[in-house]
Amino acid sequence: MTSTDVLFRSFRIGSMELANRIVMAPMTRSFAPAGIPGPAHAAYYRRRAEGGVGLILSEGTVVDRPASRNDPGVPFFHGERALAGWKGVIDAVHTAGGRMGPQLWHTGGVKSFLTDWVPDVEVESPSGLDAPGVARGKAMSDADIADTIAAFAKAAAEAKRLGFDTIELHGAHGYLIDQFFWSGTNLRSDRYGGATIRERSRFAAEIVAAIRASVGPGFPIILRVSQWKPQDYAARIAETPDLMADWLQPLVDAGVDVLHCSQRRFWEPEFPEIDGTEGLNFAGWAKKLTGAATISVGSVGLTGDVMGAFNGEGSTSVGLDKLVERMERDEFDLIAVGRALISDPTWVKKIRSGDTEDLKGFDTTDLAELV
Ligand SMILES: Cc1cc2nc3c(=O)[nH]c(=O)nc-3n(C[C@H](O)[C@H](O)[C@H](O)COP(=O)(O)O)c2cc1C
């Protein structure tokens, strides 16, 4: 059996010290009616802290814009009642010795694939699209953009005030920020659009700079990015390492400390034409190109990948040999685990003690409640 010791080294970034390298991936659970997280959320996240997760990232929680969410069960990260709920969450996690950051989100022009609910004002996005060629809602004005940047900065400041250890900005999976990155959904001809990825990164870079100004130095900022999108699994923002540097370096320069590089399967090489089929993954390349710390993710400890979860597919557990090998090479710094932690809050403890017989895998029925 492979030793997993490499996962249990501590890690420091800015003001945040983590006991190990395992991160709970951000996962929308849609259990916040009226946008308010409650005691069930506090207990759910506390169980993961008690179970030994090094860093918990919350489900996506939305900033203060009229149409920032696409599902009525998604929690707000604004307003007195929602923020009081989040205070209960971070206090519970800290009591159990955990570390946590909220994932700050705006769903842009994207329709949820779980519900037909729509907000009561028009949805907004760079060019009034959901996916390339699919019209939905309005293109954002300069004033909409400025207000959205301010809303992200305000949410980050609130997170710090409540006592969270970090924040994650959701720039992945085809939602608002990713709609600006993606040439298929950003058709703007102003300063937030353009033919190059460096130009289309400007919106995200301005958000990051505003967040950095609002939280000050030392408070870690994580940015989640992906090449793939639920709208198009094969989509790519950066086809080459040079383009990846053009995409990510301005964001690191603006204040990002950690890049959370979302893949559906962590072992897949990002540019196999350069370093082969066992080559660096997305997080590996992002770390090599920018020098920033990175988090990898994708089917850790499970047989099937994430999109199966939304088609009712469970997954059984598999060993961590491939992960351990990559972490021993320092390809990336941290590893996020999603579905395995939905079904089993004690997953990390079992990995540490080698109690692999008892690993549960992922059962889709566990999505029906906050286990
Ligand atoms: C139910 C569910 C909800 C998710 N919601 C989010 C989300 O709000 N934000 C996000 O960035 N990713 C979200 N994801 C993706 C996960 O963070 C993670 O990247 C993905 O599940 C792959 O990790 P895994 O294979 O370990 O599950 C979600 C995944 C699942 C299964």
Output the pLDDT for position 1: 62
Output the pLDDT for position 309: 87
CA 166 and chain centroid, separation: 12
In the reported structure, the alpha carbon of residue 231 is separated from the centroid of ligand 1 by a whole-number distance in angstroms of 15
Tokens, residue 336 = 């996020």
Give CA–CA dist 168/79, Å, rounded: 19
Kindly state if the Cβ of 65 falls inside 6 Å of ligand 1: no
Region of 369 on the Ramachandran plot (φ > 0 left; ψ -120 to 50 alpha; else beta): beta
Helix, strand, or coil (residue 252): helix
Give strand pairing partners of 67. none
Residue in this structure with the two tokens 């017989």, named with its chain if needed: 357
Give CA–CA dist 334/297, Å, rounded: 9
In the reported structure, the alpha carbon of residue 364 is separated from the centroid of ligand 1 by a whole-number distance in angstroms of 13
Mutate to test the pocket of ligand 1, among 27, 115, 233 (most ligand atoms within 8 A of CB): 27
The residues, any chain, with a CB within 8 Å of residue 368's CB and separated by 6 or more, are: none
Could you give the dihedral angle defined by the CA atoms of residues 289, 26, 176 and 245, in that order, rounded to the nearest 10 degrees?
0
Give CA–CA dist 201/45, Å, rounded: 32
Kindly state if the Cβ of 338 falls inside 6 Å of ligand 1: yes
Helix, strand, or coil (residue 266): coil
Q: pLDDT tens digit string along 313-354? A: 999 999 999 999 999 999 999 999 999 999 999 999 999 999
Q: How many CA atoms lie within 13 Å of 228's alpha carbon, on the beta-carbon side? A: 16
In the reported structure, the alpha carbon of residue 143 is separated from the centroid of ligand 1 by a whole-number distance in angstroms of 31
Q: What is the DSSP string of 42-95?
A: HHHHHHHHHTT-SEEEEEEEE-SSTT--SSTTSPBS-SHHHHHHHHHHHHHHHH
Per-residue pLDDT tens digits of the chain, which is 371 residues long? 679 999 999 999 999 999 999 999 999 999 998 999 999 999 999 999 999 999 999 999 999 999 999 999 999 999 999 999 999 999 999 999 999 999 999 999 999 988 999 999 999 999 999 999 999 999 999 999 999 999 999 999 999 999 999 999 999 999 999 999 999 999 999 999 999 999 999 999 999 999 999 999 999 999 999 999 998 999 999 999 999 999 999 999 999 999 999 999 999 999 999 999 999 999 999 999 999 999 999 999 999 989 888 888 999 999 999 999 999 999 999 999 999 999 999 999 999 999 988 999 999 999 999 99
In the reported structure, the alpha carbon of residue 173 is separated from the centroid of ligand 1 by a whole-number distance in angstroms of 10
Please return the burial class of 332, using the count of CB atoms within 10 Å of its CB with bins 0-12, 13-18 and 19+: buried
* Dihedrals phi, psi of 140, to nearest 5 degrees: -75, 140
Tokens, residue 286 = 């992002």
In the reported structure, the alpha carbon of residue 141 is separated from the centroid of ligand 1 by a whole-number distance in angstroms of 30
Give CA–CA dist 221/201, Å, rounded: 17
Give pTM, 2 decimals: 0.98
Kindly state if the Cβ of 299 falls inside 6 Å of ligand 1: yes
Shortest-distance atom of ligand 1 to CA 172? 11
Give strand pairing partners of 334. 295
Please return the burial class of 265, using the count of CB atoms within 10 Å of its CB with bins 0-12, 13-18 and 19+: middle
Kindly state if the Cβ of 129 falls inside 6 Å of ligand 1: no
Residue in this structure with the two tokens 């809602």, named with its chain if needed: 137
Residue in this structure with the two tokens 């207990």, named with its chain if needed: 43
Q: pLDDT tens digit string along 171-220? A: 999 999 999 999 999 999 999 999 999 999 999 999 999 999 999 999 99
Count of other CB atoms within 10 angstroms of residue 64: 19
The residues, any chain, with a CB within 8 Å of residue 206's CB and separated by 6 or more, are: 149, 254
Give CA–CA dist 192/287, Å, rounded: 26
Kindly state if the Cβ of 106 falls inside 6 Å of ligand 1: no
Query: For residue 282, what is the DSSP state?
Result: H
Is residue 108 within 8 A of residue 179, CB to CB? The reply is yes
